[in-house]
């Protein structure tokens, strides 16, 4: 990457733009978005290890589309192990169905519809699908009515081995909303027309056994080696050693110990990549790579739920932090994740242009069907989910649940982050896959403007300039007339 005009100060994503270059890439679909980090996932996107965002539904959905999610550190290791097992057991192409029994009430079934983007609940009996329930079937029915009384029994059953194109054609021919995959009479998953299309564009992120990939986070306090060993044995595909201030002695000590555990188990589970952070300087990158990090997480204070910069004055504008840390990581044979500060597809593209191996996203994904929170409705009828920062009092309370009441109360005095924020669900993009479409289409287009068919080429060819606030504002679309 090169600058059109050399910067005199550190830059955020909003401070920069990318100039177009001569291009031989004629189609967005020609662009290979394989990440340039140690994971080499088909999509360079990572779901942040935020309790309000990343769970089983999010992990399996994102992995089907080529990214990877990190399960948070404040969830007990045994529970995380169960989550990993469920993600690994999920089908790599067909979406996991939301299921109920025939005696489930329509009220309960309707409350489950927002857990997935496909908009239906499958009624099963002894594992066999016997009906579908959606908004149409439950309209104007008493919420205590059992689903077997209102369910649709006109089902399109397909084989999980059927090609997505075949499923799409059958859905079109039958005028059905969802196809149900069945093997030996047992429900495997579901697929919508849009899901079939996506399955031909995205490649799932899978491990050596052909199972979906998922990562897990470890803190730097408590029994870090015990947790790391449990997560590795449970099948985590990457371990993220995570703390707000990653360039500290305790992180270095914890990372070194976790690396030893990882290396001892390599013959049993393979060599699992280690991610560590967060840092924003060359020195931070060098120190963490020296003790075993394969990937460095970059970002202090740019996240939507983070108040660190306003409370402490500590942090660094994210574009410059990523640019400098990525260069330092490459020199040391490692890579970086750009963590935080992305609010538009352009920001993801600019992070990758700056040299990020992948981009980590948190709050932007909180307002989707697949995030962990329950969907709520405000006084105006708008749907939202609650989000909170991982250094907030709410997160600290979760993370210190095993400590004494006194220690928990004392820790709660020092919060850095928002404990409750409403992340509204965009009616146009209510599911995480809708956001992935939005983000990746922008990134692919950015690559074509740069004349790059891959992310290494994109970083090599990108030409970036510095702009004024009015220059940034000029690029924002208008959703209503200015007259």
Residues 227, 346 within the same domain: yes
Residue at which a domain ends, from 171, 200, 229: 200
Q: Is 219 annotated as a binding-site member?
A: no
Residue at which a domain ends, from 180, 200, 220: 200
pLDDT class of 385 with cuts at 50, 70, 90: confident
Quick check: is 16 in a domain? Answer: yes
Quick check: is 20 in a domain? Answer: yes
pLDDT class of 232 with cuts at 50, 70, 90: very high
Residues 172, 142 within the same domain: yes
Domain harbouring 53, CATH code: 3.20.20.70
Residues 154, 238 within the same domain: no
Quick check: is 334 in a domain? Answer: yes
Domain region containing 447: 2-92+205-474
- SS3 assignment, position 139: coil
Residues 398, 447 within the same domain: yes
pLDDT for 390 beyond 60: no
Residues 85, 106 within the same domain: no
Neighbour tally for 298: CB within 10 Å: 33
Neighbour tally for 333: CB within 10 Å: 9
CB 292 within 8 A of CB 255: yes
Mean pLDDT, residues 153-182 taken together: 96
Supply the mean pLDDT for the chain: 93
Q: Is 299 annotated as a binding-site member?
A: yes
Output the pLDDT for position 416.
Answer: 65
Output the pLDDT for position 192.
Answer: 96
Q: Model's pTM, two decimal places?
A: 0.91
Residues 139, 81 within the same domain: no
Residues 214, 257 within the same domain: yes
Per the DSSP assignment, residues forming a β-bridge with 69 are 47
pLDDT class of 418 with cuts at 50, 70, 90: low
CA of 34: how far to CAs of 37, 202, 270, 356, 457, in Å?
9, 11, 21, 12, 12
Q: Is 306 annotated as a binding-site member?
A: yes
Look at the chain and report how many structural domains it folds into. 2
- Tell me: the pLDDT tens digits for 122-145? 999 999 999 999 988 888 889 899
Residue at which a domain ends, from 134, 168, 200: 200
Q: Is 243 annotated as a binding-site member?
A: yes
pLDDT for 410 beyond 80: no
Output the pLDDT for position 135.
Answer: 87
* Nearest alpha-carbon partner for 77 in 183, 189, 228: 228
Quick check: is 479 in a domain? Answer: no
Neighbour tally for 412: CB within 10 Å: 14
Output the pLDDT for position 400.
Answer: 57
Residues 228, 109 within the same domain: no
pLDDT for 413 beyond 80: no
CA distance 1 to 3: 7
- Selected catalytic residue, list 155, 306, 359, 453: 306
Quick check: is 481 in a domain? Answer: no
- Catalytic (active site) residue 306: yes
CA of 402: how far to CAs of 57, 68, 74, 160, 389, in Å?
27, 29, 11, 44, 20
Quick check: is 480 in a domain? Answer: no
pLDDT for 393 beyond 60: no
Angle between helices 282-290 and 249-264 (to 10 degrees): 40
Residues 57, 152 within the same domain: no
pLDDT class of 329 with cuts at 50, 70, 90: very high
Q: Is 442 annotated as a binding-site member?
A: no
Residues 261, 371 within the same domain: yes
- Token pair 């006109």 is found at 154
Quick check: is 482 in a domain? Answer: no
Mean pLDDT, residues 289-297 taken together: 98
Output the pLDDT for position 91.
Answer: 97
Output the pLDDT for position 375.
Answer: 85
Domain harbouring 173, CATH code: 3.10.580.10
Q: Is 131 annotated as a binding-site member?
A: no
Quick check: is 424 in a domain? Answer: yes
Residues 304, 403 within the same domain: yes
Residues 153, 223 within the same domain: no
């Amino acid at each position: 990457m090169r600058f059109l005009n050399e910067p005199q100060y550190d830059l955020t994503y909003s401070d920069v733009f990318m100039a177009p270059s001569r291009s031989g890439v004629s189609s967005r679909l020609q662009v290979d978005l394989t990440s340039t980090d140690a994971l080499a996932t088909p999509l360079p996107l990572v779901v942040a290890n935020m309790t309000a965002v990343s769970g089983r539904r999010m992990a399996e959905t994102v992995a089907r589309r080529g990214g990877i999610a990190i399960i948070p550190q404040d969830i007990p290791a045994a529970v995380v192990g169960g989550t990993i097992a469920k993600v690994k057991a999920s089908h790599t192409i067909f979406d996991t169905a939301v299921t109920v029994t025939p005696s489930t009430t329509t009220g309960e079934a309707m409350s489950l519809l927002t857990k997935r983007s496909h908009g239906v609940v499958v009624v099963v009996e002894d594992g066999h699908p016997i009906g579908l329930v959606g908004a149409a079937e439950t309209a104007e029915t008493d919420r205590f009515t059992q689903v077997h009384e209102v369910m649709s029994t006109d089902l399109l059953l397909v084989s999980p081995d059927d090609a997505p194109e075949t499923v799409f054609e059958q859905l079109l021919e039958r005028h059905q909303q969802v196809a149900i995959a069945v093997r030996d009479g047992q429900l495997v998953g579901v697929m919508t027309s849009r899901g079939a299309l996506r399955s031909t564009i995205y490649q799932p992120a899978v491990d050596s056994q052909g199972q979906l990939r998922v990562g897990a986070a470890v803190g730097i306090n408590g029994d870090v080696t015990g947790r790391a060993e449990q997560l590795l044995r449970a099948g985590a595909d990457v371990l993220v050693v995570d703390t707000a201030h990653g360039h500290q002695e305790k992180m270095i000590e914890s990372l070194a110990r976790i690396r030893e555990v990882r290396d001892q188990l390599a013959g049993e589970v393979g060599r699992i990549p280690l991610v560590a952070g967060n840092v924003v300087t060359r020195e931070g990158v060098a120190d963490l790579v020296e003790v075993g990090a394969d990937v460095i997480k970059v970002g202090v204070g740019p996240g939507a739920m983070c108040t660190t910069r306003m409370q402490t004055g500590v942090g660094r504008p994210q574009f410059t932090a990523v640019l400098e840390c990525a260069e330092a990581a490459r020199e040391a044979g490692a890579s970086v994740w750009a963590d935080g500060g992305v609010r538009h597809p352009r920001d993801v593209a600019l992070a990758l242009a700056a040299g990020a191996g992948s981009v980590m996203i948190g709050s932007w994904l909180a307002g989707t069907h697949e995030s962990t929170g329950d969907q709520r409705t405000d006084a105006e009828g708008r749907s939202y989910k609650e989000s909170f920062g991982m250094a907030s009092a709410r997160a600290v309370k979760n993370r210190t649940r095993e400590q004494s009441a006194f220690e928990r109360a004392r820790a709660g005095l020092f919060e850095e982050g928002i404990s409750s924020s409403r992340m509204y669900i965009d009616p146009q993009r209510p599911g995480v896959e809708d956001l992935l479409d939005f983000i990746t289409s922008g990134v692919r287009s950015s690559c074509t403007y740069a004349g790059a068919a891959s992310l290494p080429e994109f970083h090599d060819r990108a030409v970036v300039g510095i702009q004024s606030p009015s220059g940034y504002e000029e690029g924002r679309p208008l959703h209503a007339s200015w007259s």
